[in-house]
Structure 1
Amino acid sequence: MEDLSFRSNLKVQVLKWWSLETGLQVSYLNHTPNSYYQSTLEQQPAVERLRAFEPAVYLDNKFSLGSRIEANLGLRSVGYLSKASSFTSLEPRVRISLTLALEQQLHASYQQVTQNEQLLFTSGSIMNNEVWVPAGVGINPARSDQYSLGWTGSFHNGQYTAEITGYYKTLSNLATYREGYSSLMGDLDWRSKVVTGGTGRSIGVEFLLKKQYGDWTGFASYAYSRTTRQFPQINKGQEFTFDFDRPHTASLNINHKFNEKWSASLTWVYQTGLPYTPVLGRQLTLDTEPDENGSLGYYEVLLYGDRNSGRMKDYHRLDVGVTLNTVTKRNRNATWTFSVYNLYNRHNPYFYYFNTNDKAGFERPENLTDFKPMNLYQMSFFPIIPSVSYKLYFDGTATKVPKRFTGEKFRKWLYQEK
């Protein structure tokens, strides 16, 4: 996919309580969804090039209704013009904010979003085969309606902030791979591998607590969400868990500044494992093409359960780092960073596969009784990785800071003292 865009924006303060922002964007898009390159071929396979223009204009109004209420009303119009088809969509958006006492705010919003390109990917893997397919013959633009309600608060002169946000999203006109396919490469009839008309739902709540300045800074966050999809041609038409559904996501970040030279950081991340489609069994199926002797053989096929009805192991890791700020002989600022990714060497799953062994090949039985046990195997990447980096700044000479007494740092544990 190639994207060449032009954008222009204009902001106007119409009245003291009313500001306006408008703009336009024109994009030239060039899609080759079935393209791939194979170095061993003298002549690469033919690909279909799909070119389109995507013009869009928008208008946003911001109103201050007294000292406590702000309202944002906007509308965006986006088109999609190609040789085979054209689409036009309107995207309204509304946001209302109510300022409460003690630096707190309530906000509610609604927006409609249209996407003229859809992302196809293989399920059950983080490192998957991704391809963008454009709207056109048989593929309508995807649409979503998003609702959110939240609260934000700031405490102790902005040193601490907290956020709670809940959201609900509905999606329509979704596209995905037809069952049994995981790639469009080299196929001029790639549309036959895509199913459309899907719907989706997503609901969740997010929490965030942050300390923004002081010797100790950091944040703690947690999110609970569920996302589903439904296609008439997939999973017998029943709703199934989305490929990237992670019900629980949490992270913790702690930074400490020991003095003007030394600082350290710690980040821990946790996510529920990705869903995958489990194998329930296998069977021998009669081949439809005879062998060189004219006989029909058998080949082994896997029998799968419901779409995304299994889950991988949970994902979590711990990253740590130490930073040293120095000044070079030429009076330039420089930074040394010593870090360790995945400190406790967690083998997080990136994808699962079923096989009779842990090798890449799949062994066929030589006869009807020569079956070998099949197991579930896990592929993992990125174990513990230490690293060292050095950064030199050329944005001016350094200013040396006087040393601070050791006892001062204890007074900045909860509150910033100046």
Structure 2
Amino acid sequence: MKKTGILFIAILFALVSFAQEKVTLSGTVKSAASGETLINASVEVQGGAAGTTSNEYGFYSLTLSKGSYTVSYSAVGYETVTETIQLNGNKVQNVLLPDQVVNLDDVQVTANTKGRTIRGTQMGVERLTMKEINTIPMLLGERDILKAIQLLPGIKSAGDGNSGFYVRGGSTDQNLILLDEANVYNASHLMGFFSTFNSDIVKDVTVYKGGMPAQYGGRLSSVLDVKMNEGNNQRYAVSGGVGLISAKLNVEGPIQEDRSSFLVSGRRTYADLFLPVFGDSTNKNTRLFFYDINAKMNYTLGEKDRLYLSGYLGRDVLKLEKQFGMDWGNKTGTLRWNHIFNDRLFSNTSFIYSDFNYNIAINNANNDLNIFSQIRDLNLKEEIQWYAGSRHSLRFGFNSIYHTITPGEITSSGKTSYNDLYLQDRYSWETAVFATDTWSAASWLNLTFGMRLSSFAIFGPGDFYEVDGNGTITDTLSYRKGALVKNYWNMEPRIAASFILNSSTSLKASYARNAQNLHLISNSAANFPTDKWVASTNSIKPELVDIYSMGWYKNLSGNRYELTAEAYYKAFQNQIDYRTGADVYTNDAIETQLLSGIGRAYGLELLLKKKQGRLTGWLGYTLSKTERKIAGINDGEWYNARQDRTHDVAIVTNYQLNKKWNLSANWVYYTGDAVTFPSGKYVIDKQVVFYYTKRNAYRMPAYHRLDLGATRQLRTRKKNTSSELAFSLFNAYGRENAYLISFQQNDKDTDITEAVQTSLFRFVPSISWHFKF
């Protein structure tokens, strides 16, 4: 026993001595020109001793043995800074990176830093730089984040000109869309033709298509995490742009130099101002426009504390004379506090507000109708990152959201009296705790273990319904205010591994389970503001998915090219669809209108990306299948989900012709959407009635389109000033892609049924001017 005790003390003394030889290098990486913190900046110790990347707020931490090191700091679009650092103890090293000055003969890096894709365990993650997004030709020249990500494999457009998107077989509501951590419930303007995100003030865009990290939750398929710029704390700057249908202006600058800054941005369309040109004078009462405002402030409280306050307000307005009016939009706000406890422990605390609502006014001679609907969140989030050592990095915390949903209020006034209709408000509390450990187990093996425990508690007041398989209410349960109706608990594990085959090749595998308790009720493939959000109830269960992924990753030709192949399989539970003839907008017992069942989605994604040189871009291809199986639909057999598409191809190119001209083009092709068309018809009292059999058993015509773009840099005489003209041609060869196909009787022979195709855009040219000073 004595020898054992001595041995134990000797081992403990050795471990302590070893630990004392380890020290930590930490700090923040920022832009020298603006003072903006840099996300995913690479921090590499020369010789391969260690390496890491900065987090969402520019903070990094490395654990090393005592000694002298040469450390390189780099980020996309910035010059590399190399420092020789003597580590005799823990050291804080803050770094400022100068903007990159690119000559045409130089290597131009426009994608992820070297080695991150190969070594990291995260699968299905895509990051686009704002430079890439801004050079992609878009509809009417409006630079659009959501349109840009739809050109990536595994992410599919919801339709021509639509900003809604599907990710790996998931529906549009299964995407978690965040703006500075705030949930954006409707991320589109003008019925989906433009997104809510003003690309001029966006700092980072990250898309998780597969097993999302444990700090994200509440959706099944993907996360789109958008972060706003913080504002220039070195000098005042003004930027903006003027296009065919919209204009925007951004102002930023220091409140106190080096310590605090602000950013304010506004955007508005003005297409409605030209409506009188195309009609009679009554068009002066017609309105169709949107506006949005972004604002952000940040303040450095000290060496270890920083405070952020950001907000967004966006609204669409549609008014047709005095008969119809509609407006809808989002409001978000985020108050965030960063605190560095020590060189290994970083904390982020956020208070978040989110609101989406719409109003509809219908006016006639005898009665005025008003319709209102809303979803509102109050959210508290705490997240801690602990850089435990050279091999372990942990992230843990909690998230608590209080949801208030007003499904619909219909009120009337006027000569004709109608009974007002108030659908019951629903209240719920969504809470989760999470933890993730990223472990460098060996030089050839990296592992990530994560767990998310989520709770969804439903509260009164209100009536809740028990429903049988035929949609008939069997019991009504009444609850007082604050009474617990139901609480759903779900364990959501995540595990991922990367196997490093050599310095340029790796294999990855992952598994994740996600739960979703908020559901979007929509009858169309496109996103409309009147789509209805409902929460899980005692009858509507949480949606679940198990995601299995495998991938192969290869860097080619000295990291000039990146080739990836990812395969996935997703098994869905409690998927929601409609009963035939469902009324989901005025029915308080919405459970009676819905059916639920299982689903599956599987596919293969290929991506070849050229990241350096004058010519950059990518070729993406997706082969996939998405199906549902729900009792009561298609005789209980598997049927195509409406987002099912077999083939999806995107080619995106960008060519730097010279210092003045940049050329770009993209071509897309995808299999037509799964739709339900009539299989026959019959006549009742001389009226033709169409007969429908299988759901989503038919296909729209295949879609393809070519877009062209060119950017001309204009001469400027002052430093820090730039100006450019952007030209684009959407649908360059005039393809008449089907937006809608309807059926009608031939005017001359009622026995003949005609399919009528509606197409939206052919040969849409645009020009816009962008400036910064």
Same fold (TM over 0.5): yes
Distance 1:391 1:46 in 2: 47
1:192 is aligned to: 592
Structure 1 residues 72 and 36 mapped into 2: Cα distance closer, same or farther (>3 Å)? farther
1:401 is aligned to: none
Alignment-mate amino acid for residue 552 of structure 2: W
1:206 aligns with 2:206: no
CA shift for structure 1 position 42 = 8.8
**Total equivalences in the alignment:** 370
Conserved? CA contact 1:35–1:185, under 8 Å: no
Percent of aligned pairs sharing the same letter? 30
2:377 is aligned to: 3
Distance 2:663 2:488 in 1: 52
Conserved? CA contact 2:387–2:394, under 8 Å: yes
1:95 aligns with 2:496: yes
CA shift for structure 1 position 386 = 1.0
CA shift for structure 1 position 275 = 1.0
Conserved? CA contact 2:433–2:452, under 8 Å: yes
Distance 2:406 2:733 in 1: 42
CA shift for structure 1 position 202 = 0.5
2:616 is aligned to: 217
Report the RMSD for the aligned CA atoms in angstroms: 2.4
Distance 2:380 2:670 in 1: 38
Mean Cα deviation higher: 275-284 or 68-77: 275-284
1:253 aligns with 2:632: no
Conserved? CA contact 1:35–1:186, under 8 Å: no
CA shift for structure 1 position 34 = 4.5
2:632 is aligned to: 233
1:74 aligns with 2:450: yes
Q: Deviations for 1:12-53, whole angstroms, at most 9, x for unmatched residues?
A: 012321111102111121223455799999986322211211
Distance 2:637 2:408 in 1: 29
1:314 aligns with 2:702: yes
2:724 is aligned to: 335
Structure 1 residues 318 and 37 mapped into 2: Cα distance closer, same or farther (>3 Å)? farther
Show structure 1 runs of 5+ residues with no match: 286-296, 359-369, 395-418
Distance 2:527 2:379 in 1: 29
**3-state secondary structure, aligned to 1:15:** coil
Conserved? CA contact 1:34–1:187, under 8 Å: no
1:54 aligns with 2:430: yes
Conserved? CA contact 2:621–2:647, under 8 Å: yes
**3-state secondary structure, aligned to 1:191:** helix
Structure 1 residues 105 and 238 mapped into 2: Cα distance closer, same or farther (>3 Å)? same
Alignment-mate amino acid for residue 487 of structure 2: S
1:324 aligns with 2:707: no
Mean Cα deviation higher: 326-335 or 86-95: 326-335
Alignment-mate amino acid for residue 734 of structure 2: N
Conserved? CA contact 1:171–1:200, under 8 Å: yes
Structure 1 residues 230 and 373 mapped into 2: Cα distance closer, same or farther (>3 Å)? same
Q: Deviations for 1:134-179, whole angstroms, at most 9, x for unmatched residues?
A: 1002100000000000011112232110100000000011111111
Q: Deviations for 1:214-263, whole angstroms, at most 9, x for unmatched residues?
A: 10111001010000001101111111011110110000011110111111
Conserved? CA contact 1:121–1:177, under 8 Å: no
TM-score, normalised with respect to structure 1 = 0.83
Structure 1 residues 301 and 37 mapped into 2: Cα distance closer, same or farther (>3 Å)? farther
CA shift for structure 1 position 186 = 2.4
Aligned residue among 386, 393, 402 for 1:19: 393
1:29 is aligned to: 403
Conserved? CA contact 1:148–1:165, under 8 Å: yes
**3-state secondary structure, aligned to 2:592:** helix
Distance 1:356 1:271 in 2: 30
Mean Cα deviation higher: 229-238 or 378-387: 378-387
Conserved? CA contact 2:566–2:605, under 8 Å: yes
1:145 aligns with 2:533: no
Q: Deviations for 1:45-104, whole angstroms, at most 9, x for unmatched residues?
A: 322211211111100011111111000000001111121322111100000001111411
Structure 1 residues 80 and 107 mapped into 2: Cα distance closer, same or farther (>3 Å)? same
1:404 is aligned to: none
Structure 1 residues 383 and 130 mapped into 2: Cα distance closer, same or farther (>3 Å)? farther
Alignment-mate amino acid for residue 435 of structure 2: L
**3-state secondary structure, aligned to 2:492:** strand
1:393 is aligned to: 772
Alignment-mate amino acid for residue 438 of structure 2: K
More helix by share: 2
TM-score, normalised with respect to structure 2 = 0.46
1:414 is aligned to: none
Distance 1:120 1:272 in 2: 25
Conserved? CA contact 2:728–2:765, under 8 Å: yes
Mean Cα deviation higher: 343-352 or 86-95: 343-352
Structure 1 residues 76 and 127 mapped into 2: Cα distance closer, same or farther (>3 Å)? closer
Distance 2:413 2:752 in 1: 37
Distance 1:118 1:204 in 2: 24
**3-state secondary structure, aligned to 1:32:** strand
Distance 2:606 2:411 in 1: 45
Conserved? CA contact 2:663–2:711, under 8 Å: yes
**3-state secondary structure, aligned to 1:192:** helix
Aligned residue among 732, 746, 752 for 1:373: 752
Distance 2:534 2:664 in 1: 41
Conserved? CA contact 2:521–2:584, under 8 Å: no
Conserved? CA contact 1:135–1:141, under 8 Å: yes
Show structure 2 runs of 5+ residues with no match: 1-374, 460-484
Alignment-mate amino acid for residue 216 of structure 1: L
Conserved? CA contact 2:577–2:594, under 8 Å: yes
Distance 2:411 2:396 in 1: 42
Q: Deviations for 1:337-377, whole angstroms, at most 9, x for unmatched residues?
A: 1011111122211222222269xxxxxxxxxxx94422222
1:63 aligns with 2:442: no
1:111 aligns with 2:499: no
**3-state secondary structure, aligned to 2:421:** coil
Distance 1:120 1:245 in 2: 18
Conserved? CA contact 1:71–1:94, under 8 Å: yes
Alignment-mate amino acid for residue 10 of structure 1: I
**3-state secondary structure, aligned to 1:375:** strand
Alignment-mate amino acid for residue 399 of structure 2: Q
Distance 1:133 1:79 in 2: 17
Alignment-mate amino acid for residue 189 of structure 1: A
CA shift for structure 1 position 393 = 1.4
**3-state secondary structure, aligned to 1:3:** strand
Structure 1 residues 230 and 104 mapped into 2: Cα distance closer, same or farther (>3 Å)? same
Alignment-mate amino acid for residue 263 of structure 1: N
Distance 2:602 2:404 in 1: 34
CA shift for structure 1 position 330 = 4.6
Q: Deviations for 1:188-235, whole angstroms, at most 9, x for unmatched residues?
A: 233221112x10010100000000121011100101000000110111
